[in-house]
Amino acid sequence: MRDRIRFDLPFQRNSVWKNDRRSYLVDSVIRDKYIPNILVWDNGDGYIWVVDGRQRWESVFFFADGDYKLSKGTADFNGENIAGKKFEDLSSDTQFEFLTYNFTVTEFRECTFEEVEEMFYRVNQSVPLTSTEKTRVKVSPAVRETVQELGQHLFFEKIAFTKADRNRYVDEQLIWQFIASSMNQDIDFGGASLNRFISGLDEVPAHIVELIEQKINYMDAAFRNWDQAKRKMLKKVHVGSLFQVVDHALIQNWTDERFGKWAESFLIDRYSVDSPYGQLCQKGATSKQFALNRLNYMIKDMVQST
């Protein structure tokens, strides 16, 4: 049935559990311990839409697929040392206990999406969603589709997102910043003001999408020869500022190669957390004034490098 199980309702978290927590869940499965109900929604399309329980089910699926081992501290089971073992390394008896565990599944029918969404929030009150995760639900379908399409660009593979960043949709939040900047929004580029802007947007105008794509292509070309070590400096705070300063580079007819060399000098050769720009990337990094200060500092440095 796994090909029918869907985890991608808009309000769902990504896979955020770490392996030690997944291991503890699997240990509970093997020992036939109580695990809370899985909540699913049947909207009649033939899929099983998971409302609550993604992390639990994925923990089981990933373990069955051999993606991780049980934690080293896992206690023996029925005299068998199961710590540090993958599913395939377990005895047939222990595998049987794992495979025959019964999850209790509560299925909701004749519910609207809004009712299912409210149910998710009520169930997860004890595990608050981040502001970005909450805002994703409110984003219009047209804006969500645009953000997802922009996010497919290979440039985003160059950015130094951590796995946790992607699981918390920090990559999407960066694209929200691109949109706000391109639409000349006089707001902070993080937190409530950005969330209000993006959730109140019906669609992203075509000329704005074209402008963003042009600037992303420019940055992608500028950093095409950067190795993995250099790309570590392509963090969200820097990329947000670079996206804005691309406008100045284009006005000055800088080639992407020249922009890349300047960025390497600015962010790698001459950067430190104690430098004036480095200080602007610390506390208050997403505030409107700090973003403006970073932009002005970059432009000043570009002018001096000509």
Q: For residue range 183-242, list pLDDT tens digits in order.
A: 999 887 767 888 889 989 999 999 999 999 999 999 999 998 898 889 888 988 899 999
Please, how many CA atoms are within 13 Å of residue 215, restricted to the half-sphere of its CB?
Answer: 23
Domain check: are 166 and 212 in the same one? yes
Closest of 200, 137, 207 to residue 172, by C-alpha: 137
3-state SS, 165-184, equals HHHCCHHHHHHHHHHHHHCC
The pLDDT mean for the chain works out to 88
Among the candidates 83, 106, 123, a domain finishes at: 123
Q: Indicate if 145 and 99 belong to the same structural domain.
A: no
Residues 152 and 192 in one domain: yes
Rounded average pLDDT over 99-126: 85
Residues 29 and 135 in one domain: no
- 217 shares its domain with 166: yes
Same domain, 113 and 191: no
Structural domain total, the chain: 2
Which of 123, 142, 162 terminates a domain? The answer is: 123
One domain for residues 146 and 235:
yes
Same domain, 104 and 169: no
Question: Can you tell me the distance from the alpha carbon of 94 to that of 85, in angstroms, rounded to the nearest whole number?
Answer: 11
Give yes or no: residues 140 and 113 share one domain.
no
Q: Do 53 and 156 lie in a common domain?
A: no
Q: How far is CA 189 from CA 104, 228, 257, 280, in A?
A: 43, 27, 28, 14
Confidence of residue 16 (pLDDT cuts 50, 70, 90): confident
Choose one of 105, 123, 141: the last residue of a domain.
123
Q: Could you tell me if 90 and 201 lie in one domain?
A: no
Residue 99's domain spans which residues? 2-123
Are 196 and 95 members of one domain? no
pTM for this prediction: 0.61
